[in-house]
Amino acid sequence: MAALTLRASPFEMGLLGVAQFLPGPLFGLLAGVWLDRTHRLPVVVGSQLVNMAALATIPAAALAHVLTLPQLYLVAFLTGTGYTVARISQVAYIPTLAGRENLVEANAKYQTSLTVASLLGPGLAGLAVQVLTAPIALAFDAFSFLVGAVTAAWIRLSEPDPAPAADRDVLAEAREGLVFLWQHPLVRSISLTILATNSSSRLSAAVFVLLFVGRLGLTPAQLGLTFAAASVSSLAGAQLAKPLIDRLGVGPIMVSGTVLLSVGLAFSIPAALAPRPWVFPLLVAGSLVLGFGLMTYNVNQQAIRGAVIPNQMLGRVSAGLFVLVAVGNVAGALVGGILGQSIGLFGTLVVATVLGAAGALPAIFSPLSRLRGVPAPE
């Protein structure tokens, strides 16, 4: 909507990313403390309804011909707030839902569905934008959050009552989560990798559509199919992850996943320089490599975090990681917009690729690389 309908500049695209991810650093730590003091499932349901209501205003404004960039910024901020609360509460709720003895299988299923959905969604979005126009596509997006709220509300499982909140220091509790996140070597390695790769993604996102669609002539459907290709390889990664882990160990497989993720991101460089007929195939090839690497890493990283983080700290530590990544996302989006204006779209893409490649280093140079299996729950 911003790039194709409202003709946003690179800097305005960067601001849109900032609006989307700013709620993470603003509200993430407080949300983590709150979620350790309350039942988590009602929060999951409520966050879906907030996102539905906010997104529904975009097609309504577009059909009335009153849509503006400030409205997109506001909707991005509101949905970013809903996303912040939803993701932290989901991660903190999984051990209660599945039992800590089933964390590996539960998180494998959760990460598989999350990754496939996040990779398949852009493909469907590209087709919907091209066939139905962007406002109608966003109307379907809003409806999807209603589905999310209803299906979450169907869950029938009693959560344990949280500890009383009296005489508890919010700032001290939030600080405990950050300290644990940094002091535990496995959680620290995972956090730094996620920070680098997500920051790289937001840096790239500020210029990606403008470069490949606006300048190089890819259609929205082709761009969507580029991302959808990763869902195919991610399914293969999900099926092969366990046999590979049994043979080589969880650590080496996760390190290999970060390397493949870096290689997949790097395909965008030759794609931007290639003759027009090669742009789409190169982007698809990179997406296939990226999807496999992403899945082999994500299937295990959350299971490791769920195992080594005590249950009474899951909300705070998950919030600490979310805030760290959100700060990186905001910085990446803002820097991406500024660089897109100053050094150009291609130069910004190169910077994003280098940052993404750096995400493999915390996995390579940490105890994670020597880990044979997921640690026993603490």
pLDDT of residue 81: 92
Q: Where are the domains of the chain?
A: 10-154+171-370
Give the whole-angstrom CA distance, residue 85 versus residue 47. 7
* Whole-Å CA distances, 291 to 7, 80, 227: 30, 24, 9
Task: Show the 3-state SS of 217-275.
Answer: CCCHHHHHHHHHHHHHHHHHHHHHHHHHHHHHCHHHHHHHHHHHHHHHHHCHHHHHHCC
Per-residue pLDDT reduced to its tens digit, 8-26: 887 888 788 888 888 888 8
Per-residue pLDDT reduced to its tens digit, 101-140: 777 678 777 877 876 776 677 778 878 888 888 888 889 9
pLDDT of residue 263: 93
Say what the pTM is.
0.71
What homologous superfamily is domain 10-154+171-370 in, according to CATH?
A: MFS general substrate transporter like domains (1.20.1250.20)
- The residue type found at 83 is Y
pLDDT of residue 32: 84
- The residue type found at 255 is V
Per-residue pLDDT reduced to its tens digit, 274-307: 998 899 999 999 999 998 998 888 878 877 887 7
350 pLDDT more than 90: yes
- Confidence at 256, pLDDT banded by 50, 70, 90: very high
